Structure formats: C-alpha cells, structure tokens
Amino acid sequence: MRRALELARRGPEHDPNPRVGCVLLRPDEDDDGPATTIGEGWHRGAGTPHAEVAALADAAERGQDTRGATAVVTLEPCAHTGRTGACTQALLAAGVRRVVVAVEDPNPVAAGGAAVLRAAGVVVETGVLADEGRTVLGAWLPTVGRDRPFVTLKTATSLDGRVAAADGSSRWITSDVARRHAHELRAEVDAIVVGTGTALRDDPSLTARTADGSLAEHQPLRVVVGRREVPAGARLRGPGGELVALATHDPASVLDDLRARGVRRVLVEGGPTLAAAFLRAGLVDEVHAYVAPVLLGSGPAALADLGITTIADAVRLEPVSVLPLGPDVLVVATPLREA
C-alpha cells in the first residue's frame, strides 16, 4: 500500500479527479509468502485511465498474467462508467481475486465498487493505511459529492479584530512566519476570492509564493467579485494565476461559476463585506484566523455586519487546531451548523 500511495502522489494535485495509485501483485505458490509486483499505475488526470486500468495495462506490457492477482489500490475502485469505464469491471475481467483498499469512496456516484467485487466472489479488504490515503486525497475528499466547492475563509487581524489601522495601513499586521504559512495555504487551493473594494484599495497580487519569494509551481485562479473593473496596471494582471472577474455580489453565484471551472477548493480572503456575505449565506466550511499580538483600537474590523443583534444568534465555531506561527497564532475552526 505504501508503494501505491507513492504512485498516487505522482498524479496532479489540482485536478477534478482524485489522486489514486494501484499495485498489482502476483502471489507466489504459498499465499502467505512474498508477492511479486506485476503491474503499477496511477491516475494522471481527468479523462485519462484510472489507476487500476493503468496498472492492468502495465501488467500487459510486461507480459504478466493477472488471473488470481491482488490489486492494492488507494481508493475504492469505482463502480460507474463516466469518461472512463468502471474499474470494478476491468478488475473482474482481468481475473483479480483480491482487492486491498485504503479509503472507501465517499462519492455517491462512484461508490459501491467493493460491494460489486464481493458479489462477484472477490475478497475485498478496506481501511489499510486509511489515514495516509486520506492525506494523499487531500482537497478532493471534503469536496466530493458536493454541489459546490469547499470554502475556507481567511482573516489576518490584530488581537482586537482589526484588519487595518484607522488610516487604512495594514502591512504588516502579521509576521513573516504567518505570511509564509498563508502562502502555503494559497498553494493548496484552486481559487482565491476577493471583492473589488479589496482589489482596488490594496492592489494585491494574490499569488502563492515559496519561502524565497518566488512564484510557487501552482497558482490558483485570482477571482474578483463585484461590478467595478480591475485597472489595467493592477498587480492582479501581472504574473500569477488567471484573473477571473465576476460581476456579481451573490456568493452562491460565485461558487456556481467556479464549480463549472473545475474548482474544488476556494479561499475567501476579503474584504470584510465579502467575508460577511459568505458567512451570512452559510457558505463557509472552514475559518483560518491568523491573529497577531497587536492592538489597534480602531480601524476596519475583519467582518462587516452579519445582521446579528443578540448574542443568541452569534455564529459559533468549533476549534479544529491552534498553531503558533512565530509571535502569531493561527486558529482553524469550522462553523457549527444548526441541527
């Protein structure tokens, strides 16, 4: 399984489909003894063969007989036919007699492969190195089967909740350590979203950068929400991800558009009005709050009006983790949903 996970990591991280690896083993005469690898494969991106099919093709190229083989795969083989055929049928046709799986498929469209295989007499074992498997699946896992991308709201504030001083200056509230971590977060998402107010006031580049300040290999879409145009000389039009201007103020419409573009994970960076709009719409799945030990006493707050007039209606969050970052702290939390 560790080899299958290694193969899975070769797949594209920012792809609509999950990263999956597969190893085919031919058992020796003694089933309890060592096994020989007869084929390997991984999913190379949407529209290409799935890992199991790629491993079967590799075995064929090696001239290996797959009858009676064991397939070790990082995600449960799919049971449906989409742009490619069902992996369960490919495994059955190849005569595979045992399948070992790390993570069961949560996708209601593709799930059920293990049941199909068992019904055909194949021995199926699940949950092998499942935690490692979920780590490799990364951002695909929390977004699968959803009708919209996963949304992370990011804030960077003083201890008293300000995003800038009274004169509008905000560089830099948080430390270098916190900002480097924020760039790592940017490199993990498919799109960064800001409002036109932030784009015009702060002139951000919205790029993901490495520790030495150079552009990271992956650059998310840079999405500006609102009806005002981004100036020709804005840094958003410089090097980095594609600039997407959406002339709307409706968070649901924004996510619909991004989903159609294949976006699975969105980072909302501001400003306060846009952040409040996503929260009021119930479209925030996770909050990343970078907090610096700085007091300003005045200046814009992290959030605009949420329409809350009493403490009973407050948006409550459940802390997930607290991470020290130099002098600052990152609090990761998820909004509590009403039952």
Catalytic residues: 52
Residue 107's alpha-carbon distances to 10, 77, 249, 319, 339, in angstroms, are 22, 11, 31, 27, 23
User: In degrees to the nearest 10, what's the CA dihedral of 302, 180, 284, 297?
Assistant: -10
- Which burial class, exposed, middle or buried, applies to 61 when counting CB atoms under 10 A from its CB (0-12, 13-18, 19+)? exposed
Segment holding 199, helix H or strand E: helix 196-202
12 three-state secondary structure: coil
Q: Which residues pair with 155 in a beta bridge?
A: 289
Q: Which tokens hold the place of 231?
A: 């100036």
Q: Which residues contact 193 (CB under 8 A, 6 or more apart)?
A: 223, 224, 225, 254, 266, 267, 268, 269, 274
| Contact residues for 224 (Cβ-Cβ < 8 A; gap 6+) | 193, 194, 195, 196, 199, 230, 236, 243, 244, 245, 246
Residue type, 187: A
The DSSP bridge pattern shows strands 221-225 and 317-325 to be unpaired
Cα-Cα-Cα-Cα dihedral sign, residues 220, 106, 137, 70: negative
Cross-strand pairs, 287? 153, 333
